[in-house]
């Protein structure tokens, strides 16, 4: 990244928004490519005459790929740089979109969807990581969560695309269309620089200074540069830092939150909403799809609400209110399915319950998990530690996707919802006892906090 090329992008201080917006396209692809299969699979099943098992394999292939992509992405981001890995993910997104749109046989489709997943796994780490490292501390929460907003928009767009192309059974177009945002992401990232923090870590101090001036829109950046360098000096080399007993609490918090984000059931709704609505008696496919789009829109709107609050009231209150809302709505959903006397009312209650549930997720656990894991790790191992947390996230996502229908068969629909509610109570207690408040802190202050061996909850106290 040269001085001239960095000056091509954005005006005074606005640069950071341009950078955040482009990298958030990674989130759009994450959402689109995970959501699109829900509609596409109906026609893929017909075209290739798939068994139930083959359908499950096609649907889960993307999650398997994401586990692999998450494992690769962080290490690569620490070595090659955040920007290069986002560009690499964009190239894989584009190629696999075109590839999956033109496959002759289902085995190729499965391979292609694993590749899509690898790109999703990589982007799920590097997009929030990149934004977190360029954002000023006081707006970092909202900027990083643009990524989550993009995920939710991607999901709704995928539902709408599926709906509009279902008349022509156009599953190949559904999958192929992802090449467009992928190209915009890849091309858009080309003139952007890497993050000042990554540059400092790789000895490119002069470049880091140029980039910092650009993103802060001011000449005097020496103080911030010094803080980044001082922080780095205190860190052990490479993986040793991860094993540092003082850093371990951060690692555990990230991994446990990752598991809770999935094991409270969000993707049973995102991937199976039409099926749940059919359990509830909404028989026509069009009313089930309509209700599903409604759930997707609530997800987007409540993410916007979260973005406006994250840097004002903080991460912890949103997590706790959001989790309480999820537990309440899961309890309600379980009750609705438990009482046979409800009759036609069950469909309405299911719609309201699912909307409440998704809204509560979007307010807390959705954005806050990805935000926190981009903030709480020391610079030298930030990518690697994020990899571990996102592997836990994608692994649990895969587990829930594979077990949801079996769980419903084993303990019934109310039992399944109550089970997720119980896990939600566990998550609330965990957050209450150990998740730190990172609002308004610089990434270097957060590192310093762990190094001082203080309790996570003390982080929020000035």
Residues in touch with ligand BGC (CB under 6 A): 34, 148, 151-152, 155, 261, 266-267, 270, 299, 366, 370, 393, 397
Instruction: Please state, in angstroms and rounded to a whole number, the distance separating the CA atoms of residues 72 and 92.
Output: 13
Q: Which long-range contacts (CB under 8 A, 24 or more apart) does 99-108 make?
A: 100/175, 100/176, 101/172, 101/173, 101/175, 101/176, 101/179, 102/172, 102/176, 105/48, 106/44, 106/48, 106/50, 106/54, 106/58
Q: How many CB atoms lie within 10 A of CB 17?
A: 15
According to DSSP H, which parts of 8-139 are helical? 15-35, 37-48, 52-79, 82-101, 106-134
Tokens of 428: 């609330």
CB-nearer residue toward ligand BGC: 38 or 267: 267
According to DSSP H, which parts of 234-284 are helical? 240-243, 248-263, 266-279
Q: Which residue has the tokens 């610089």?
A: 442
357: Cβ–Cβ under 8 A, 6 or more apart, which residues?
A: 269, 325, 326, 329, 330, 333
Minimum distance from residue 9 beta carbon to ligand BGC (Å): 28
CB-nearer residue toward ligand BGC: 33 or 437: 33
Minimum distance from residue 108 beta carbon to ligand BGC (Å): 26
Angle, vertex CA 394, rays to CA 250 and CA 67, nearest 5: 105
Instruction: Please state, in angstroms and rounded to a whole number, the distance separating the CA atoms of residues 15 and 442.
Output: 19
The DSSP line for 14-40 is: THHHHHHHHHHHHHHHHHHHHHTHHHH
Minimum distance from residue 236 beta carbon to ligand BGC (Å): 30
CB-nearer residue toward ligand BGC: 106 or 427: 427
CB-based contact 314:437 (threshold 8 Å) = yes
CB-nearer residue toward ligand BGC: 390 or 438: 390
CB-nearer residue toward ligand BGC: 271 or 417: 271
Minimum distance from residue 267 beta carbon to ligand BGC (Å): 5
CB-nearer residue toward ligand BGC: 393 or 438: 393
Helix axes 15-35, 82-101, angle to 10 degrees: 30
Tokens of 78: 């620490």
Closest CA to 115 of 130, 103, 131, 132: 103
CB-based contact 182:95 (threshold 8 Å) = no
CB-nearer residue toward ligand BGC: 96 or 397: 397
**b (16+ CB within 10 A) / e for 418-451:** bbbbebbbebbebbeeebbbbbbbbbbebbbbbe
CB-nearer residue toward ligand BGC: 66 or 327: 66
**b (16+ CB within 10 A) / e for 362-371:** bbbbbbbbbb
Minimum distance from residue 271 beta carbon to ligand BGC (Å): 8
CB-nearer residue toward ligand BGC: 303 or 442: 303
CB-nearer residue toward ligand BGC: 128 or 456: 128
Tokens of 372: 């926190």
């Amino acid at each position: 990244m040269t001085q001239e090329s960095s000056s091509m992008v954005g005006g005074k201080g606005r640069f950071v928004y341009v950078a955040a917006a482009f990298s958030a396209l990674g989130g759009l692809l994450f959402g689109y490519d995970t959501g699109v299969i829900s509609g596409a699979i109906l026609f893929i099943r017909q075209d290739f005459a798939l068994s139930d098992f083959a359908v499950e394999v096609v649907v889960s292939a993307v999650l398997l790929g994401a586990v692999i992509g998450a494992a690769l992405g962080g290490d690569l981001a620490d070595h090659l740089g955040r920007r290069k890995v986002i560009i690499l993910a964009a190239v894989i997104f584009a190629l696999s979109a075109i590839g999956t749109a033109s496959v002759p046989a289902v085995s190729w489709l499965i391979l292609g969807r694993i590749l899509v997943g690898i790109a999703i796994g990589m982007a799920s780490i590097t997009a929030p990581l990149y934004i977190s490292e360029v954002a000023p501390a006081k707006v970092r929460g909202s900027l990083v969560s643009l990524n989550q907003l993009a995920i939710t928009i991607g999901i709704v767009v995928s539902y709408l695309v599926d709906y509009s192309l279902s008349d022509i059974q156009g599953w190949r177009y559904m999958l192929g269309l992802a090449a467009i945002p992928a190209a915009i992401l890849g091309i858009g990232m080309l003139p952007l620089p890497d993050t000042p923090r990554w540059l400092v870590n790789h000895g490119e101090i002069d470049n880091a200074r140029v980039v910092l001036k650009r993103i802060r829109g001011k000449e005097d950046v020496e103080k911030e540069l010094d803080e980044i360098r001082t922080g780095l000096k205190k860190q052990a080399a490479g993986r040793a830092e991860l094993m540092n007993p003082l850093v371990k609490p951060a690692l555990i918090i990230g991994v446990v939150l990752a598991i809770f984000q999935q094991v409270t059931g969000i993707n049973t709704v995102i991937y199976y909403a039409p099926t749940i609505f059919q359990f509830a008696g909404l028989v026509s496919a069009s009313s089930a799809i309509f209700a599903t789009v409604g759930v997707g829109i609530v997800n987007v709107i409540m993410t916007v609400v979260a973005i406006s609050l994250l840097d004002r009231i903080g991460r912890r209150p949103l997590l706790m209110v959001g989790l309480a809302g999820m537990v309440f709505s899961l309890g309600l959903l379980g009750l609705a399915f438990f009482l046979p006397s409800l009759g036609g009312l069950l469909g309405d209650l299911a719609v309201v319950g699912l909307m409440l549930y998704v809204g509560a997720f979007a307010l807390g656990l959705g954005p806050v998990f990805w935000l926190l894991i981009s903030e709480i790790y020391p610079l030298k191992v930030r990518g690697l530690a994020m990899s571990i947390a996102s592997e836990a996230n994608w692994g649990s996502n895969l587990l829930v996707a594979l077990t949801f229908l079996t769980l419903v068969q084993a303990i019934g629909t109310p039992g399944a919802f109550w089970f997720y509610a119980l896990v939600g109570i566990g998550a609330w207690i965990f957050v209450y006892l150990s998740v730190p408040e990172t609002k308004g802190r610089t990434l270097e202050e957060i590192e310093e906090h762990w190094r001082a061996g203080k309790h996570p909850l003390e982080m929020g106290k000035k």
